[in-house]
Amino acid sequence: MAGIYIHIPFCKQACYYCDFHFSTSLTHKAELIKALQQEIELQKSFLSGDTIETIYFGGGTPSLLKDEEINLLINTITDLHTVSSGAEITLEANPDDLDHQKLRALKQTPVNRFSIGIQSFFDDDLAWMNRVHRANEAEASVKRAQDLGFENITVDLIYGYPLLTDQKWKHNLDKAFELQVPHVSAYSMTVEPRTALATFIKNKKQAPMNDEQSSEQFIELMDAMKVHGFEHYEISNFSKPGHYSRHNTNYWKGVKYLGIGPSAHSYDGEKRQWNIANNAKYMQAIDNKKIPAEIEILTEENRLNEYIMTSLRTQWGLDLGQLNRIAKGASDQLIKESEEFFDKGWIRREDQIIYLTQAGKLYADHIASGLFF
């Protein structure tokens, strides 16, 4: 099995915290859609004929696409690949795009899952982030989608930023539970270089993020999700049983995927490649029937470290047997290096599987990097 990711590099405006590749000009959207279609054709052999189990429209803001543009891209995939009849097809969407007309149009596409970028149910927080939508649109967009029969919905929330008091964070979580969505993704506010937020902090127009606040709100998040029957199946992702993001879960489990579009990444088990993050150069290269990508052949050490990083983040944990299948005897070294994390109560072991404890989830990246080869 395999997945296909399609990057839609357009947004109405730039969120202050975002460092993803996008343009706020839609002038060349039609040409870009054509280039995406052409790249799907050029990359048809990348997945070696594996059945496509998931298709994910990310961005950017994929909900800016028309239904006929979505259908065009999906049809191009189905013409060139075997796509599972039960494939998960996800569209990332902004709440302000999901009006009745848009949702009715999307019912005419194979899209069967929405990832809605709510981030907060407070207008002042959304304005601080420079989000386009407002709180009433966030709630209404979910209800409209549900009314039209879209049940497989995940919402994104952000925590750990100065405006978000613990009371507001509790309200955001309660609102998500009230909406009865089966999946929630929640991320700590991260200050990425070359973003507006980083510039504001550098110029002292904005206070830095508070790590203690972020940790406390992460703990509140984990506790609340458990009470409401959600599984914490990946550091930033929670779902009701059976409602995992199949596409993202496959990333963490090392399943092959093909990335289409400017800045998109691909992986086939032996190498990674990533496209140029420039719309004009991307389209020019594709027009010349060239894939504008850099390629990295993964070494044994790369594969070990990647497996450590991704597996530890999940509820399925790190399988020492799998580690040894990548490199004979690797588990012995990892067990030796992990002693301090066992002593601190950050990881636990059951048979051949190593898991993060709840306390350890606060230090997931630190633990993984400490175990790298």
CATH number for 328: 1.10.10.920
Residue 291 inside a domain? The answer is no
Are 65 and 97 within 8 A, CB to CB?
A: no
- Are 45 and 179 contained in the same domain? yes
Give the tens place of pLDDT for each residue, 297-326.
999 999 999 999 999 999 999 999 999 999
The CATH number given to whatever domain includes residue 75 is 3.20.20.70
Measure the N-to-C terminal CA separation of the chain; round to a whole number of Å.
29
Q: What is the pLDDT confidence band of residue 62, given thresholds at 50, 70 and 90? A: very high
Q: What is the pLDDT confidence band of residue 340, given thresholds at 50, 70 and 90? A: very high
Cα 264 from Cα 327, distance rounded (Å):
29
Strand pairing category for 271-275 and 265-267: antiparallel
Structure tokens at 120: 């907060």
Residue 293 inside a domain? The answer is no
- Are 309 and 245 contained in the same domain? no
Cα 93 from Cα 61, distance rounded (Å):
6
Residue 288 inside a domain? The answer is no
Structural domain total, the chain? 2
Give the tens place of pLDDT for each residue, 264-297.
999 999 999 999 999 999 999 999 999 999 999 9
Residue 362 inside a domain? The answer is yes
Which residues, in sequence order, are CB contacts of 82 under 8 Å at separation 6+? Answer: 49, 51, 52
- Are 243 and 328 contained in the same domain? no
- Are 365 and 230 contained in the same domain? no
What residues pair up with 59 in beta bridges, in sequence order? 8
| Rounded percentage of the chain residues whose pLDDT exceeds 90 | 100
Q: Letter for the amino acid at 10?
A: F
Give the tens place of pLDDT for each residue, 126-152.
999 999 999 999 999 999 999 999 999
- Are 156 and 12 contained in the same domain? yes
Residue 96 inside a domain? The answer is yes
- Are 100 and 191 contained in the same domain? yes
- Are 237 and 354 contained in the same domain? no
Q: What is the pLDDT of residue 289?
A: 98
Range(s) of the domain holding residue 326 = 300-371
Q: Letter for the amino acid at 264?
A: A
Are 349 and 317 within 8 A, CB to CB?
A: no
Residue 285 inside a domain? The answer is no
Q: What is the pLDDT confidence band of residue 100, given thresholds at 50, 70 and 90? A: very high
- Are 203 and 77 contained in the same domain? yes
- Are 240 and 344 contained in the same domain? no
List Cβ<8 Å contacts ≥24 apart for 243-246.
243/152, 243/182, 243/183, 244/183, 245/88, 245/90, 245/113, 245/115, 245/154, 245/183, 245/185, 246/53, 246/54, 246/88
Give the tens place of pLDDT for each residue, 103-112.
999 999 999 9
Residue 274 inside a domain? The answer is no
- Are 36 and 154 contained in the same domain? yes
> Which residue from 127, 114, 128 is spatially nearest to 70, judged by alpha carbons?
114
- Are 187 and 312 contained in the same domain? no
Q: What is the pLDDT of residue 253?
A: 94
Are 119 and 158 within 8 A, CB to CB?
A: yes
Cα 287 from Cα 166, distance rounded (Å):
51
- Are 232 and 334 contained in the same domain? no
Strand pairing category for 347-350 and 318-319: unpaired
Residue 20 inside a domain? The answer is yes
**Length in residues, the chain:** 373
Calculate the average pLDDT of the chain: 97
